[in-house]
Amino acid sequence: MGAGPGDPELITLKGIKYLQMADVIVYDKLVSRELISYAKPSCSVILLSSDDIEIDLLKKYALENKLVIRLKNGDPYVFGRGGKICQELIKDGIECEVVPGVSSVNSVPAYAGIPLTFNGISDMITVISAVTQGGRLFDFKKIPDDGTLVVLMSGRRLEEVSKELMTKRDPSEEVAVIQRGTYFDQKVNVTKLRELTKIGNLATPSMLVLGDVVKLRCILWKSS
């Protein structure tokens, strides 16, 4: 089940209903603790310490005929391993239902005053994870040289990501660096791609948005 990108008010009504019904809720550190308050008193609430035990933990409780929720940040089918989790559980005959969540891909830029598409400015969105399976960098040769580009999971490899981006994108292009998007302590910096590494270490979660739509932030961002 998707918990949304951070702001607890962005969970769906169906999500709240299921949280109130659950026998077991498994969540991670990116999920707002406020959402756990919807759990009934008899519900077992488990903070996941490692992805390595995730599937085994879900299997254990599901095979006890309990309603188990794996509460994930954003949407479980958008860079959330939701498909892999369901695939493994179904192998053991465990029925899975996916409750979509508000994805950080579009909601985080929106909270920063940046529309991903805009008539006459951008009619294309590319979304990538900077770091892929096994800790490998994404193959940046695949990205287009224009349009809106959303880069997830680049915080710890920012210098490498910056260099790779400049092989396909204009170094003078504006980049929005959004840290802890939709949370109360959200932080947004707009800089040139060639100066991206001057931002320093990024908080988790963080996101980069490139493209002409970034220029709209100065018009659309709420000032109060």
Helix (H, G, I), strand (E, B) or coil at 161: helix
**Range list of β-strands (E), the chain:** 24-27, 44-47, 68-71, 125-129, 148-152, 174-179, 187-192, 206-210
pLDDT digits (tens, 9 = 90+) for 13-38: 999 999 999 999 999 998 999 999 99
Average pLDDT, the chain: 94
Average pLDDT, stretch 155-176? Answer: 94
| pLDDT at 224 (0 to 100) | 42
Given a cut of 80, whether residue 202 has pLDDT beyond it is yes
pLDDT digits (tens, 9 = 90+) for 67-123: 999 999 999 999 988 999 999 999 999 999 999 999 999 999 999 999 999 999 999
Given a cut of 60, whether residue 156 has pLDDT beyond it is yes
Q: What is the pTM of this model?
A: 0.90
Question: What are the percentages of helix, strand and coil residues in the chain, rounded to 5?
Answer: 35, 20, 45
Domain ranges of the chain: 8-91, 104-220
| pLDDT at 41 (0 to 100) | 97
Give the architecture-level CATH label for domain 8-91. 3-Layer(aba) Sandwich (3.40)
Indicate the fold that domain 104-220 takes in CATH.
3.30.950
Task: Tally helices (H) and strands (E) across the chain.
Answer: 6, 8
Question: CA 164, 170, 172, 178 torsion: positive or negative?
Answer: negative
| pLDDT at 134 (0 to 100) | 82
